[in-house]
Structure 1
Amino acid sequence: MRQSYLETIRLIERLHRRFLDVIKAELDRLGISDINNVQALILSNIGEEQLTIGELTVRGYYLGSNVSYNVKKLVENEYLEQERSPHDKRAMRIRLTQKGRDLCDRVNELYERNCTALAKGVLEADDLTEVNESLRTLERVWSDYINYGRF
């Protein structure tokens, strides 16, 4: 169990880094140099929603210290726009600009090409469903430890 557990942890980290490399390669292919792979992933995860920076962090997409910096750069490069929340003047809400939505469309096309390639005998949808169930269970176990100090 220990060996499989440690391998899973290493694989999660490596897969995330490799996925960011895939996004970086796509940005390079598209000739987009004013945004990095992490910022493109942030845009993709925001999608059509309006969020605060805190909501992005709470959802667990990113490390808190980097979110503010990346959002600032995305606003500067006109991928995101900010406005004060009408209900809480201290909070800034963010949403994609047209430029941000256009990039999200390109990233979604990348996802579709990835899915098509995987479906050609590499992985079945059921395989991914099983992996996802296991990862969600692992996430719950870790969350319980963080929240309650026990496994």
Structure 2
Amino acid sequence: MTMTDDVTDLRREYLDAIKLIERLHRQFLEVVKTELDRIGVEDINNIQALILFNISDEELTVGELTNRGYYLGSNVSYNVRKMVENGYLVQERSTHDRRSIRVRLSDKGLDLCKEIDAMFERHAKALPGVPVEAGNLKTASTSYRDLERFWISLLNFGLRGV
């Protein structure tokens, strides 16, 4: 096998991985939406539910939420405003920096966070019944982190000489 074949194979695998990441993300959002429908929650969408889950018991600024970067294709400020309006988040000005607004889960938000956590627990318990092994998930996660570091290095430093 030549160097060109290796690069071609790597390119094909790289593009397949990117497509799979996108498809998995969309499917996962559908799973979350189905869970919200199952428990009768209609005043919050799947992305907002994941934002709540990721806030959990923390108190964060909108900037900190945005920097975490979990919210593909979403406007975090808009979603925070909607969750405040629907009673899932409490929004308060920082006592140290009056320009900064911090958010935390309300009781309603905490309740929904527990429901989402219960969904993840059910999923984890169901995984042994399908051909998904912890070691394979760990390997996949490691590969995704490697890709993340690669993309961050492209954004921060570019690929010199490429």
Shorter-chain TM-score above 0.5? yes
- Establish whether residue 148 from structure 1 lines up as the match of residue 157 from structure 2: yes
- Establish whether residue 107 from structure 1 lines up as the match of residue 126 from structure 2: no
Query: Are the aligned partners of 2:47 and 2:74 in contact in 1 as well (CA < 8 Å)?
Result: no
- Establish whether residue 28 from structure 1 lines up as the match of residue 28 from structure 2: no
Aligned length: 151
Structure 2 unaligned runs (5+)? 1-9
- Establish whether residue 71 from structure 1 lines up as the match of residue 80 from structure 2: yes
RMSD: 1.4
Residues 82-109 of structure 1 deviation map (CA, whole Å, 9 limit, x = unaligned):
0001111111000000100000100011
Query: Are the aligned partners of 1:80 and 1:95 in contact in 2 as well (CA < 8 Å)?
Result: yes
Query: Are the aligned partners of 1:39 and 1:70 in contact in 2 as well (CA < 8 Å)?
Result: yes
Q: Which moved more, 1:120-129 or 1:98-107?
A: 120-129
Q: CA deviation at 1:120?
A: 2.0
In 2, the alpha carbon distance for the partners of 1:49 and 1:125 equals 28
- 2:137 — aligned with what? 128
Query: Are the aligned partners of 1:57 and 1:63 in contact in 2 as well (CA < 8 Å)?
Result: no
- 1:93 — aligned with what? 102
TM norm structure 2: 0.89
Match of 2:46 among 15, 34, 37: 37
In 2, the alpha carbon distance for the partners of 1:31 and 1:126 equals 35
TM norm structure 1: 0.96
Structure 1 unaligned runs (5+)? none
Q: CA deviation at 1:60?
A: 1.3
Q: CA deviation at 1:64?
A: 8.6
Query: Are the aligned partners of 2:92 and 2:103 in contact in 1 as well (CA < 8 Å)?
Result: yes
In 2, the alpha carbon distance for the partners of 1:121 and 1:56 equals 33
- 2:6 — aligned with what? none
In 1, the alpha carbon distance for the partners of 2:88 and 2:73 equals 20
Query: Are the aligned partners of 1:53 and 1:94 in contact in 2 as well (CA < 8 Å)?
Result: yes
Q: Which moved more, 1:60-69 or 1:95-104?
A: 60-69
Match of 1:84 among 63, 86, 93: 93
